């Protein structure tokens, strides 16, 4: 395929999607690799472009709560409350699917993940289309999710025709993926909506253990990994050559003088800023071809929990 184009033409993106092509789309979390959720071949192509195993289902993106009814067979009260509170926004809810959602989207499951994104460009696009858009993050399988058109280009140039540029993603980490089990909100993937925010809607919130593949195949232990080795600062099993290492840190740091490069996710200790910078800095650091990136974990509250979860997976060397 020819070089991938980057542009801001929503009509062109809509036309390509309607023709069954894969198009990268901006969202408030990370960029997605979108396709027509009802077109089997278009969905299959997205799996191929990403190099993603078919047992890992995709999130279906739709315009509003009314269109959720075309995708979900049933919306329990608690799911409805979550949509009302957090949508449009970074919340993906697993619900029973209607029959005409192709099996390839759900990896053969009877459930489908649904999200109503808030990015204005993608909302305009969704409003224009007669079908919902299935979209995984627009990166190669297991690598770092893109938060800008350029990140997508670095990973997928030549593999897709168009990247719809909507600027940098505001949140910088993925949506929170939840499932409703009776009166419990079960978090299958931590993300932009924090556990504390979920607890404001429903007291009982549980976090799924990593690698419970049967529940959410995307919860692989290794994920979000740049090419450069990532090591947690608490890991003392690996000898670090500081002259060839970068420190990815947060807040005040006393150790930073030892390293060749230091990047601070948020010098003032702001977790929202840290989330926005996380993947961007991993891309930046990866481009330096150092021996390793030493990552310091954040305090385990609020967005810090989700950021730490991503850092731990980036540092899993399987």
Taking CB under 6 A as the binding criterion, the range among 132-140, 156-164, 246-254, 270-278 that sits at the site for ligand TXA is 132-140
Q: Does 67 bind Mg ion (CB under 5 A)?
A: no
Q: Is 92 or 121 the residue whose CB approaches Mg ion more closely?
A: 92
Q: Smallest distance from the beta carbon of 252 to Mg ion, in angstroms?
A: 32
Taking CB under 6 A as the binding criterion, the range among 55-63, 67-75, 157-165, 310-318 that sits at the site for ligand TXA is 55-63
Q: Does 122 bind ligand TXA (CB under 6 A)?
A: no
Around 189, how many Cα atoms within 13 Å sit in the side-chain half-sphere? 26
End-to-end CA distance of the chain, in Å? Answer: 32
Per-residue binding letters, 128-147, with Mg ion (x by CB under 5 A): ---------x----------
Q: Is 71 or 292 the residue whose CB approaches ligand TXA more closely?
A: 71
Tokens (6 digits) for 142: 């297991």
Question: Among Mg ion, ligand TXA, none, what does residue 113 contact (CB within 5–8 Å per kind)?
Answer: ligand TXA
Per-residue binding letters, 254-293, with ligand TXA (x by CB under 6 A): ----------------------------------------
Helix (H, G, I), strand (E, B) or coil at 92: strand
Q: Does 175 bind ligand TXA (CB under 6 A)?
A: yes
- Given a contact cutoff of 8 angstroms between Cβ atoms, the answer to whether 84 and 68 are in contact is no
Q: Is 152 or 298 the residue whose CB approaches ligand TXA more closely?
A: 152
Sign for the pseudo-dihedral over CA of 52, 27, 156, 33? positive
**What is the spatial distance between Cα 302 and Cα 173, in angstroms, rounded to a whole number?**
13
**What is the spatial distance between Cα 40 and Cα 95, in angstroms, rounded to a whole number?**
20
**What is the spatial distance between Cα 286 and Cα 225, in angstroms, rounded to a whole number?**
10
Residues 6+ apart with CB under 8 A from 269: 250, 251, 252
Q: Across the strands, what pairs with 32?
A: 25, 137
**What is the spatial distance between Cα 315 and Cα 318, in angstroms, rounded to a whole number?**
9
Sign for the pseudo-dihedral over CA of 29, 207, 314, 281? positive
Q: Smallest distance from the beta carbon of 113 to Mg ion, in angstroms?
A: 12
Q: Segment 15-54, which members bind ligand TXA (CB under 6 A)?
A: 27, 29-30, 32
**What is the spatial distance between Cα 73 and Cα 273, in angstroms, rounded to a whole number?**
37
Tokens (6 digits) for 50: 């990403």
Question: Among ligand TXA, Mg ion, none, what does residue 27 contact (CB within 5–8 Å per kind)?
Answer: ligand TXA
Q: Is 23 or 290 the residue whose CB approaches Mg ion more closely?
A: 23
Q: Segment 137-156, which members bind ligand TXA (CB under 6 A)?
A: 137
Taking CB under 6 A as the binding criterion, the range among 110-118, 157-165, 205-213, 306-314 that sits at the site for ligand TXA is 110-118
Binding site for Mg ion (CB under 5 A): 137
């Amino acid at each position: 395929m020819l070089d991938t184009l980057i542009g801001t033409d929503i009509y062109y993106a809509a036309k390509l999607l309607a023709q069954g092509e894969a198009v990268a789309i901006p969202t408030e979390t990370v960029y997605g690799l979108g396709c027509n959720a009802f077109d089997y071949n278009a969905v299959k192509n997205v799996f191929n472009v990403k190099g993603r195993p078919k047992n890992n289902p995709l999130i279906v993106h739709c315009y509003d709560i009314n269109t959720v009814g075309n995708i979900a067979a049933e919306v329990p009260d608690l799911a409805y409350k979550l949509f009302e509170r957090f949508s449009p926004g970074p919340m993906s809810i697993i619900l029973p699917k209607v029959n005409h959602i192709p099996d390839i989207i759900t990896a053969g499951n009877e459930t489908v993940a649904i999200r109503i994104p808030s990015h204005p460009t993608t909302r305009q696009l969704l409003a224009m289309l007669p079908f919902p858009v299935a979209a995984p993050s627009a990166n190669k399988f297991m690598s770092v999710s893109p938060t800008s058109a350029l990140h997508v280009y670095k990973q997928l140039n030549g593999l897709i025709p168009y990247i719809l540029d909507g600027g940098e993603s505001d949140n910088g980490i993925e949506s929170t993926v939840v499932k409703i089990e009776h009166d419990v909100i079960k978090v299958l993937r931590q993300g932009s909506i924090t556990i504390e925010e979920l607890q404001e809607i429903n007291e009982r919130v549980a976090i799924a253990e990593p690698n419970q593949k049967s529940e959410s195949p995307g919860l692989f232990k290794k994920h979000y990994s740049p090419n450069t080795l990532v090591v947690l600062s608490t890991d003392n099993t690996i000898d670090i050559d500081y002259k060839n290492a970068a420190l990815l840190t947060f807040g005040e740091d006393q150790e930073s003088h030892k390293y060749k490069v230091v990047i601070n996710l948020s010098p003032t200790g702001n977790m929202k800023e840290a989330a926005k910078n996380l993947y961007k800095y991993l891309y930046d650091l990866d481009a330096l071809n150092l021996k390793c990136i030493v990552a310091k974990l954040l305090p385990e509250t609020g967005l810090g929990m989700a950021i730490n979860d991503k850092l731990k997976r980036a540092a899993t060397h399987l």
